[in-house]
Amino acid sequence: MKSSEATKSTRRNGLIPFRIELETRMEQPRWLGAAVSLGAMIFALFLGGVILSMAGGNPIRAYSYMLKAAFGSWGVFSDTLVKATPLILTGLACAVAFSMRLWNIGAEGQFYVGAFGASAVVLAPLIPLDSPAWLMILTMVAVGTLAGAAWGFVPGFLKARYNVNEIISSLMMNYIAVAWNNFFIFAVWSEGGFQMSPKFPKTAWLPRLTDYVEKIPAFRGLTAHLGLVFGLVMAGIIWWVLYRSKWGYEIRLIGDNPRAAEYSGINIKRNIVLVMMLSGGLAGLAGVSEISGVVHRLQGAISPGYGFTGIIIAWLAKLNPILVVPVSVLFGGLILAGREIQPSGVPKLIQGIILVCLIASDFLLRYRVSIVRRSWES
């Protein structure tokens, strides 16, 4: 028995013949984390069902519909992957920042300016429009990622220099980013008075599976695009950075114990700025991937909250970059299927419930909860 200091919460009324005893866990079994997260997910879906039926919906029909609409065939699974692509990148953005306990809530805005940067390459244009596709895409990726990193730099710098709370500043930057994009959509790049830019030339599109339909007929209609590869590669790179590089060790040490990090000579302020820029760059890349892989033009409402969902994904994946990928696929399915479900707030609601249950369940990782019969206590 792993018991050293037992925290007891005793109710002294004799009515209930049981009491709940809490015991601090000294070590966790390896499977426990996964089991508790899974349990929390299932509990959250159950709770979501209860609320859904309270709001007048049919949870069983809604869930089975969602499952079919997200994973029912190769076609819809490809669409799920399309939705998962930006989520992987924003999830990584949040995971890397949260590892340092740096709360970047601005992935949404960084996504928007990333999309803006990629669009500017085509619409300004920053390079000749008859450039080959590889050069076009490379420039879009570079500019968009840099734009996202610049957007992340602002809250990072303010935190390092003036100790400004990065939660609020990064969140405020979201609203500024959306207004910034809207200005360009309405006033500068508007096509014929519509609130969208002209469509990008084909050279600025990320290749999709369906583009290879002549060689492999099975790819007909599959819209999964190169952005997914960006996501998978970045997941690998970020995993390596966080768990195999010296910088990643510094990041995690600052997250675990900032004082120890400071005493060991790690430059915390520099890392705040750098990690915020890395995080912003990843979210910016998500914007690039979405704009040139899916939307193919700059317009409003390009994100159903990818940046915010990234927060939940990072947390559900326990900040592990590799786990971010499967979790993103799950949430991609949720967002895809949720689009057609009434009432329209259901995906957001389920995301909220999942996060709440997840955080609450961490308690079970730290404490062993046992119900003890009262009779033999006294």
Partner 1 sequence: MDLIIILQAGVATGTVLLFATIGEIFAERAGILNLGLEGMMLIGAMAAMKTVVATGNPWLGVLVAMLVAGLLSQIHALITIQFQADQVVSGLALTFLGAGLSLVFGEGLSKAGAMSLLPRYTVPLLSRMPVLGPILFIDQSVMVYLGYALIPLSWYYINRTRPGLHLRAIGEFPAAADVLGINVYALRYFYVFIGGLLAGLAGATISLAVSPGWFSELTTSGQGWIAIGLVIFAQWNPIRAAFGSYIFGALRRLILDIQGPAMLLGLANPFYYNPYLGFFLQMIPYAFTIAVLIIGSREALRKRFGSPAALGIPFIRGERGI
179 binding partner 1? (CB under 8 A): yes
Quote the least distance from Cβ 98 to partner 1, whole Å: 8
What's the helix, strand, coil split of the chain in %, to 5?
70, 5, 25
Burial of 196 (0-12, 13-18, 19+ CB in 10 A): middle
7 binding partner 1? (CB under 8 A): yes
Query: What is the full DSSP assignment across 130-171?
Result: TS-HHHHHHHHHHHHHHHHHHHHHHHHHHHHHH---HHHHHH
315 binding partner 1? (CB under 8 A): yes
**Cβ(270)–Cβ(254) under 8 Å?**
no
Identify the residue among 107, 294, 312, 325 touching partner 1 (CB under 8 A): 312
* Cα–Cα distance for residue pair 125/298, rounded to 1 Å: 13
Phi, psi values for residue 327, rounded to 5°: -65, -40
95 binding partner 1? (CB under 8 A): no
Is 211 or 362 the residue whose CB approaches partner 1 more closely? 362
Q: Which amino acid is at 137?
A: I
168 binding partner 1? (CB under 8 A): yes
Could you tell me which of 282, 278, 258, 279 has the C-alpha nearest to residue 269?
258
Quote the least distance from Cβ 165 to partner 1, whole Å: 6
Which 8-state DSSP code applies to residue 323?
H
Q: Are strands 6-8 and 18-24 parallel, antiparallel or unpaired?
A: antiparallel
328 binding partner 1? (CB under 8 A): no
Which 8-state DSSP code applies to residue 23?
E
Opening angle at CA 288, ends 173 and 248, nearest 5 = 70
Q: Which stretch binds partner 1 (CB under 8 A): 61-69, 212-220, 264-272, 343-351?
A: 343-351
User: Tokens 């830019």 label which residue?
Assistant: 197
Identify the residue among 359, 370, 372, 377 touching partner 1 (CB under 8 A): 359
Identify the residue among 82, 96, 171, 294 touching partner 1 (CB under 8 A): 171
Other Cβ atoms less than 10 A from the Cβ of 203: the count is: 15
Is 75 or 300 the residue whose CB approaches partner 1 more closely? 300
Identify the residue among 36, 127, 167, 330 touching partner 1 (CB under 8 A): 167
369 binding partner 1? (CB under 8 A): no
300 binding partner 1? (CB under 8 A): no
Q: Which stretch binds partner 1 (CB under 8 A): 62-70, 83-91, 195-203, 351-359?
A: 351-359
* Cα–Cα distance for residue pair 211/282, rounded to 1 Å: 26
18 binding partner 1? (CB under 8 A): no
Identify the residue among 32, 67, 260, 360 touching partner 1 (CB under 8 A): 360
Query: How many residues appear in the chain?
Result: 378
Quote the least distance from Cβ 114 to partner 1, whole Å: 18
304 binding partner 1? (CB under 8 A): no
Q: Are strands 18-24 and 367-373 parallel, antiparallel or unpaired?
A: antiparallel
Binding residues among 221-260 for partner 1 as defined by CB under 8 A: none
Quote the least distance from Cβ 362 to partner 1, whole Å: 6
Q: Which tokens is 272 given?
A: 């705040």
Identify the three-state secondary structure at position 375. coil
75 binding partner 1? (CB under 8 A): no
209 binding partner 1? (CB under 8 A): no
Identify the residue among 173, 235, 251, 329 touching partner 1 (CB under 8 A): 173
Interface positions with partner 1 (CB under 8 A): 7, 51-52, 55, 103, 105, 158, 162-165, 167-169, 171-173, 175-176, 179-180, 182-183, 186-187, 308, 311-312, 315, 342-346, 348-353, 355-356, 358-360, 362-363, 366
